[in-house]
Amino acid sequence: QELEDGPFSFHRASLADPHFRADVLAGLAASPRAIPARWFYDRRGSELFEAITELPEYYPTRTETALLESIAGDLAALAAPDAAVVEFGSGSSVKTPRLLRAIEPAAYVPIDISGEFLRHSAAQLSQAFPGLPVYPVEADFLRPVPLPEQVAKMPKLGFFPGSTIGNMNAWHAIDLLRAMREWLGEGARLLIGMDRVKSPEILVPAYDDASGVTAAFNLNLLERINRELDGTIPMDAFRHRAIWNADYARIEMHLEAQRDVDFSVAGRPFHLRAGETIHTENSHKYGPNGARQLLRAGGWTPIEQWTDEKDWFALILCEA
Ligand code: AVI
């Protein structure tokens, strides 16, 4: 049975959301129990995720950022000079200025679900790049994204860093890639970050760090349920687990009951036996062939790829 997590984007709203309630109640009653990873990202969860990106064990962010820096010359040569960069799930990312400096685009379109967050990062970027027109779009890129009129005639370079694609099942990833191809239009290109398959000795600590930040990130989901959905989950009854699932080439995060436990959420009773888990996240890793197959199935042709010297993380440039 699969964790049914669609393409997620960052949900930073702090008020209880009816979709959150529905996903949690259905997910806790399912077998196996599973709650989509998109619900990690309340304010606290977003802060904890930022902290994860700075952990010594969590290599993806720093590896991708250094890679972007090192391929700036190649990118400058490959990108159309009058292109508009369209970033999916843009944010406080330290990666964006590196890309913008490298290719000097004609416009930048950050797309994010959180308007507050988007305005803040757009303002910061406008300051750092005074001549660059920035057209923020507040939207959930799971649904059709209307691109601003001003960039309609420009060739587009989609930017989807961070290996966020890895948090989706293959069929959702393919749907999203196809949708991006449609939104970006004729002649578009896409620069996408994908985390590579590697030894579980590297992968597991990246998702189960010694200082317990990832554990706090995972457990915050239960705290959020208690806070927003009137839950009575005893926090000491659960522990964070990160497991490498070799069959699916993915890290799975779970919350494991340490003992038999009873609680209620929004008035509904639940019982978990000791050892039962709630599956909270998949983070798929791709080898070179898997990455190419996924991108092709999504309607994109890889034309260039770069990896760091350990081959831990790949940036892949595709054309529509
Ligand atoms: C956002 N996403 C790409 C992260 C990942 O690595 O899958 C989320 C994360 N979960 C635990 N640590 C980081």
What percent of the chain lies above the pLDDT cut of 90?
80
52 lines ligand 1 (CB under 6 A): yes
Amino acid code (one letter) for 298: G
| Interval 251-257 mean pLDDT | 98
pLDDT the model gives residue 79? 83
251 lines ligand 1 (CB under 6 A): no
pLDDT the model gives residue 15? 56
Q: Above 50 in pLDDT, residue 12?
A: no
pLDDT the model gives residue 296? 98
CA 37 vs CA 34, 93, 254, 314: distances in Å = 9, 20, 11, 23
163 lines ligand 1 (CB under 6 A): yes
Q: Which two tokens stand for residue 67?
A: 């890679």
pLDDT level of residue 1 (50, 70, 90 thresholds):
very low
Q: So what's the ipTM on this one?
A: 0.99
Q: What are phi and psi of 133, to 5 degrees?
A: -70, 125
| Interval 56-66 mean pLDDT | 96
Atom of ligand 1 nearest to the CA of 217: 11
pTM: 0.92
Number of H helices, E strands in the chain: 10, 13
**HEC per residue, 182-207:** HHHCCCCEEEEEEECCCCHHHHHHHC
* Spacing, Cα 166 to ligand 1 middle (Å): 8
Closest residue by Cα to atom 3, ligand 1, is 164
Task: Name the more confident of 144 and 175.
Answer: 175
283 lines ligand 1 (CB under 6 A): yes
